[in-house]
Structure formats: C-alpha cells, structure tokens
Amino acid sequence: MIRLLLADDHAIVRAGLRAILEESDDIDVVGEVATAEAAIAYCTTTDVDLVLMDLRFGSGTSGVEATATLRDLPNAPNVLVVTNYDTDSDILTAIEAGACGYLLKDTPPAELLAAVRTAAVGQSVLSPAVASKLMTRVRKPESSLSPREIEVLGLVEAGMSNRAIGKALYLSETTVKTHLVHIYAKLGVNSRTSAIARARELGAI
C-alpha cells in the first residue's frame, strides 16, 4: 500500500486528486496539507511513501524548498511534483532538489496513477508533455547522449536502481535523477523502459 500525502494550496485540486487516487486499492491518501511547511511537519511525524507536491504555494516555503528538506529527512518520502508550471528551470530545479518526477495538473488520471506507482518506489517519471518540452528544448546536433549519460543508461538497462547507480558511479542519487531527466529529454521519452528501447534503436547502448 502506497501511503500518500497531498500538498497543494488549492482545496479543489486536493479534492480532485484524492478522488482519483482513492479509486485505487493500492493507494492510501493519509493526509492533505495546504502549505509546504505543513508538508514538512507532517512527514516528520508520520510515515509517508510519496508526497504529491505543488511547485508554488501562496506564500512561504516553495515546493522546491520543501522537496529538498523532505529528501533530507531520516525516513525521507519520495516526492512527485504536480503543478501547472512547465518551464525548463522549474522542471530541472525540482528534479535537482530531489523530486522523483514532474507532472502537469492536466495529466490524465491513468497517467497520474501510473506515475504515482513509479515515483513511490523512487523511480524517475516525467509526464509526456514535460518530456516533449524538454526534448524540443535540447533537440540540437550537440544533444546526443554524453559519455556519462550513456554510462547511467547502461546501468539502468542492467536493472539497477537510482541509488545503486549512484553508488556504482560515486554520484548522489539526485545527480543520477538529473542525468535521467536529461536523457529522457534528449531521447524524447518519459520512462526508463522507453529510454532503453530508444537508445538501443539509436545504437547508443
């Protein structure tokens, strides 16, 4: 069972997300909060597997700042950003803060549920719209995979988790996630499986 916390400053958004998520037998929405500070406070006293985090709240701590704080907790929950904002800097800043993935609020319910299950185990996920935006941004002659990105993708192909890849390459787990975001963008994909398949097609791995 995935223990999930909703963090969004709009009650109607939280209600909509809860309605979708609670239809699944493997997801338990254990709480909801309206501020980033409340999300941090909740997770310091309650076991949570995944936080669905808005990027911007009305005031105070941002979703990015809260994500970084949450990921430093002893029993750190995974964080999946769900927001209306899709600028390159927003996406990359959130991932670098430790978020497992990035979805837009217009993501179809089936994709949201799939992303929640993926992010809950610490795997990276991007909504197709976000992956497409990043791909368009980096689609240049120099956008081929770097040696390090090929190395990371090769370990993904071997079935290793982000944490295991980080240990193998002496990188932080956050750095591995950032590499994966760049890989997804360059290959025009939004999942580990698709990245491996596309890289094989291109002869990159």
Domain boundaries, the chain: 2-122, 134-202
Class (C level, CATH) for 134-202: mainly alpha
Amino acid 123: pLDDT? 87
169/184 Cα distance (integer angstroms): 19
Looking at the predicted structure, is the pLDDT value of residue 143 above 50?
Answer: yes
Tell me what the mean pLDDT of segment 57-79 comes to: 92
**Whose CA is closest to 194, among 144, 134, 128, 148?**
128
Residue of 141 and 197 predicted with greater confidence? 197
Cα 122 to Cα 15, 50, 84: the distances in Å are 25, 9, 22
Confidence (pLDDT) at 169: 93
Higher pLDDT, 135 or 139: 135
DSSP bridge partners of 78 = 50
**Is 2-122 assigned to CATH 3.40.190.10?**
no
Do 2-122 and 134-202 come out as alike in CATH topology? no
pLDDT in tens, 37-53: 999 999 999 999 999 99
The residue with greater pLDDT, 153 or 130, is 153
Q: Give the percent of the chain with pLDDT over 90.
A: 59
In this predicted structure, what is the pLDDT of residue 8? Answer: 97
